[in-house]
Structure 1
Amino acid sequence: MSRILLIHSSVHGYTQKICEYLQRKLAEQDQQVTVTSLAEVPDLAEFDKVFIGASIRHGKHRPALYQFIETHLSALETKPSGFFSVSLVARKSHKNTPQTNSYMQQFLNQSIWQPKLLQVFGGNLNYQSYGAMDRNIIRFIMWLTKGPTDPTTKVEFTDWQKVDEFAVQMIKA
């Protein structure tokens, strides 16, 4: 049994949902998993493995993610660890791998931490949960990228089988 810390950087709560799903899957395999937000991380020394999930906000991972990595680089490099990114871009089959996803590549170019275990998951589109400005920006981006623009759209683009496979990789890490 491993003590696993699963940290999320989530704006609308969807990355947290994926982390909580992973927590349940890992618990079924007798793993002890703590899920926490980037702002409330406990002492990393208490855990055997550390994984981070981060969403994209206005085309970027949040600056706090990079600050956390700088502060905790030593622990991230000396423990089994990994990173996954959640975005609507990953809904497309040609942009849903770490190698083909521009946000993951941007992360790897900007981050001093280069985790070995990487994954990309499609996000959640729920126009009614966004404020007016975000709703209009996202609808415009969806229009540009040939995605759904109906303001009543509520759809998860997450491949949950892929999340299950990532849980297995986390155990093996």
Structure 2
Amino acid sequence: MSKILIIYSSVHGQTRKVTDYLKQQLESYGNEVTCASIDEAPALDVFDKVVIGASIRHGKHNPAVYDFISRNINQLSDKVSSFFSVSLVARKPAKNTPETNPYMQAFLAKTTWKPKLLAVFGGNLDYQGYNAVDRNIIRFIMWITKGPTAADTKVEYTDWDKVSQYAQQLHQL
């Protein structure tokens, strides 16, 4: 059994949903799991493993994720750690692995942290759940990338079996 901290940065809630699912899966293996938003993360010293999950908004991870990593780089480097990214780009088979996802690659290039395990998950597309600015930006991006643009579109691209496999890998670290 491990004491695991999952820190998340979520804009529209899908990364939080993935975090809650991971918590449930990891607890089923007998782990003690604490979840916290990036802005409310507790001290890392009492945890055996630290997981950070972040969504993409307008092509970038939240700057608070990089700030948190910079402030805690020594502890993150000394512990078993992992990072996962949630984005609509990951809905595409050619961009749904850490090696092929451009946002994961940009993340890795921007930080000195080297997590032991990486994962990429598809996000949730819900135009009605966005404000007008986000809805228009996302629809434009989806139009460019040949994704759905109908204003009533609501599609969850998260592969929950893949999230379960990731939880098992985390448990085994």
TM-score (norm 2): 0.99
Deviation at 1:13, TM superposition (A): 1.3
Q: Distance in 2 between matches of 1:114 and 1:144?
A: 33
Query: Letter of the aligned partner of 1:5 in structure 2?
Result: L
**Quick check: 1:168 aligned with 2:159?**
no
Aligned residue in 2 for 1:9: 9
Could you list the per-position Cα deviations for residues 14-42 of structure 1 after superposition, in whole angstroms to 9, with x for gaps in the alignment? 10110000001111111110011000011
Q: Distance in 2 between matches of 1:116 and 1:33?
A: 18
Could you list the per-position Cα deviations for residues 91-127 of structure 1 after superposition, in whole angstroms to 9, with x for gaps in the alignment? 0000000000000000000012121200000000000
Q: Distance in 2 between matches of 1:166 and 1:22?
A: 8
Alpha carbon RMSD of aligned pairs, Å? 0.6
Q: Which runs of 5+ in 1 are unaligned?
A: none
TM-score (norm 1): 0.99
Q: Distance in 2 between matches of 1:89 and 1:109?
A: 18
Determine what percentage of the aligned residue pairs are the same residue.
Answer: 61
Aligned length: 173
Aligned residue in 1 for 2:41: 41
Query: Letter of the aligned partner of 1:49 in structure 2?
Result: K
Aligned residue in 2 for 1:59: 59
- Runs of 4+ aligned structure 1 residues displaced above 6 Å come to none
Q: Distance in 1 between matches of 2:128 and 2:103?
A: 25
